[in-house]
Amino acid sequence: MKASFDKFDITPNYPVHMAGYSRKSKSIGVLDPIEINTLVIEMEKTPFVICIFDSIIIEESFVNNIKDEVNKTLHIPNENIIIGCIHTHSAPAFFKLAFEETSVEQDLTNQVKINIIQSIIRAYNNLEDSNIIFEKSMIEGLYGNRNQKDGYADKSVNVLKFYDKHNSLIGAFVNISVHPTILNGSNLMLSADLLGFVRQKLQDQLDCPVLICNGTCGDVSTRFYRKLSGIEELEYTSSSIVNQMKDKITSEVLNLNNLRIASTSMVSIFDAEKDDFNNSELKRLNEKSSNVSEAEKSYLKLLASRLEIKKSLSPYVLHLTSTIIKTDELMIITLPGDVNSYFAKHIRESIPNIEIILIGYSNAYVSYMVESKNYGKYFETFNTRLSRGVSDEFIDKVIEKAASL
């Protein structure tokens, strides 16, 4: 097996519009670097790519253009290329958010596309013999389900460490599931937020490049666990995560033979004008807002405005896609958006006896993926562009495909 890492700093050195929280002001500085991180692996003479950059979302057309260019240059099949983001809310506005009036920095987006292609090519050209150690730890007391403190959340941190023929670390792949939203809308410093701080601390500790990606964090954040705020909270939480990873880690060598790569997809058409939930809930919110406190009225108006925006922009045609990379004892599954924790549990219970790493925000962004049983209960539903049951249907397709490999 061969592997290689590449890191590309894409931090702009001038004020830019930021994505997240509907900010009106441009950035005023840099808290930590905005990066592209690439891992290329070659197993059984088959290369595949995992490239993650620091953005709030990613667009399918952007991804497909990159895949086509990489395929032309390196002859890596499009299916073998994963492009994703970490979902920081404090990076430049590379893309337009559906529910925000974000001013996109199109020149930056165009340059990042070029930089991602360059990063993938550099990593591919520097492949070296390597072996992998799989590590896992469970994080407690720092983040969890943001709707119910005792609700389910995937608190596993999955790590793939790559060693060269001299047994020296050449890089680490880290997968964690938590919203990187410690910095709020008042922050105007560019930052990869929590995942960026964890990444930097691990790089300092391991003395090697670290690629970090997000998992099923649709309903997971630090909301119920914060002790401080802003940069102080970032330092505390990231340090605590890294310390728990070190103290609780379990390691094993996995059997990575019998590589299989496949994908599955489906199309969702959502018309909020005709959606039963959207219409009935909009009526309920408008009626309820007349007899509540000003604070609650403001929140109800926010929810109602989301439903109105859905109607004004309908119909939505969304392409849900998943790439599955499977070996005998390890499987990587990509998912295209803010995926709720329930689906991580459902996938792992449906496909037992194999380590599964779930990468969210990858290859496309279709908004929140909310399970049917909780559809309509929490904020995630008001930010989704998928009707009830569509996410469940898609995840079941992913499970069926993965189990068949």
pLDDT at 98: 86
Band of pLDDT at residue 213, cut at 50, 70 and 90: very high
Tell me the residue ranges of DSSP E strands in 139-197.
144-145, 156-163, 169-176, 189-190
Query: Each residue of 2-43: pLDDT tens digit?
Result: 999 999 999 999 999 999 999 999 999 999 999 999 999 999
Band of pLDDT at residue 373, cut at 50, 70 and 90: very high
CA distance 283 to 332: 42
CA distance 94 to 102: 9
pLDDT at 99: 86
Tell me the residue ranges of DSSP E strands in 103-259.
128-129, 131-138, 144-145, 156-163, 169-176, 189-190, 210-214, 220-221, 250-252
163, part of any domain: yes
Decide if pLDDT at 289 tops 90: no
Query: Each residue of 70-115: pLDDT tens digit?
Result: 999 999 999 999 999 999 999 999 999 988 888 999 999 999 999 9
237, part of any domain: yes
Decide if pLDDT at 290 tops 90: no
Q: Mean pLDDT across the stretch 41-52?
A: 98
Band of pLDDT at residue 143, cut at 50, 70 and 90: very high
∠ Cα 359 365 371 (to 5°): 75
Total of domains in the chain: 1
- Could you report how far apart the first and last alpha carbons of the chain are, in Å? 21
Q: Mean pLDDT across the stretch 233-262?
A: 97
257, part of any domain: no
pLDDT at 326: 98
Decide if pLDDT at 50 tops 90: yes
> Which tokens is 146 given?
């943001």
CA distance 38 to 50: 6
Average pLDDT, the chain: 97
CA distance 349 to 370: 18
87 is known to lie in a ligand binding site: yes
Q: Mean pLDDT across the stretch 240-249?
A: 96
pLDDT at 102: 86
pLDDT at 315: 95
329, part of any domain: no
167, part of any domain: yes
Query: Each residue of 157-202: pLDDT tens digit?
Result: 999 999 999 999 999 999 999 999 999 999 999 999 999 999 999 9
pLDDT at 26: 98
pLDDT at 400: 98
Cβ proximity of 83 and 116 under 8 Å: yes
319 is known to lie in a ligand binding site: no
* Consecutive H or E run containing 30: strand 29-30
pLDDT at 378: 96
Range of the domain at 94: 2-252
Query: Each residue of 387-404: pLDDT tens digit?
Result: 999 999 999 999 999 999
301, part of any domain: no
pLDDT over 70, % of the chain: 100
79, part of any domain: yes
372, part of any domain: no
pLDDT at 205: 98
Query: Each residue of 321-364: pLDDT tens digit?
Result: 999 999 999 999 999 999 999 999 999 999 999 999 999 999 99
Taking Cα atoms as reference points, which of 345, 361, 357, 355 lies closest to residue 395? 345
